[in-house]
Amino acid sequence: MNHIELRALDDDDLDAVFEMMRDPEAIAMAAFTAQDPDDRAAFDAWIARERASDDVLSFVVTENGGFAGTAASFTVDGDREVTFWIARHARGRGVATEALRLLISREPLRPLFARAAAHNAGAIAVLTRNGFTEVSRNVDFAPGVGREVEEVVFTLLPVLDG
């Protein structure tokens, strides 16, 4: 496998992140995306809020030093969540699995939660390979596909000393 790392998101990454998050194939798989992925002003405002928040840890995923995606952790309704988005050119080679492993090693809080569209078998496989287990399912409107989609919620519990 290639060398995978997480590094801090910087201004030079923003164009690559925006383009990655506009990929129609990725949007269809992620489903729960921005209302208008082509709206650069909305993207810039969102990323500025994320970067300004003390609650959000945002990283760029690199493969052999090049841009391969993003990974982040944040809090929603008191629960710590993780997310990852891997660029099309970096999929299918273990990049997401390793990026998530690195992210959860940097996130001390447990339990951790994650969400994936039920039809996104790749994301579900990455989560389960990293120890996440399904805890619930719900249906919600997904802007990326323009309809209601089943969402799977996962958790990663703390390791119990035995």
Q: For the segment 5-55, what is each residue's pLDDT rounded down to a tens digit?
A: 999 999 999 999 999 999 999 999 999 999 999 999 999 999 999 999 999
Residue spans per domain, the chain = 4-156
Q: For the segment 79-110, what is each residue's pLDDT rounded down to a tens digit?
A: 999 999 999 999 999 999 999 999 999 999 99
Q: Which fold has domain 4-156?
A: Aminopeptidase (3.40.630)
pLDDT of residue 161: 55
pTM confidence score: 0.93
Which amino acid belongs to residue 113? F
Give the gyration radius of the chain's Cα atoms. 15
pLDDT of residue 158: 82
pLDDT of residue 5: 98
pLDDT of residue 1: 56
Six-digit token pair at 7? 């590094």
Helix (H) or strand (E) holding 46: helix 40-52
Q: For the segment 5-15, what is each residue's pLDDT rounded down to a tens digit?
A: 999 999 999 99
How many other β-carbons are positioned within 10 Å of the β-carbon of residue 129? 14
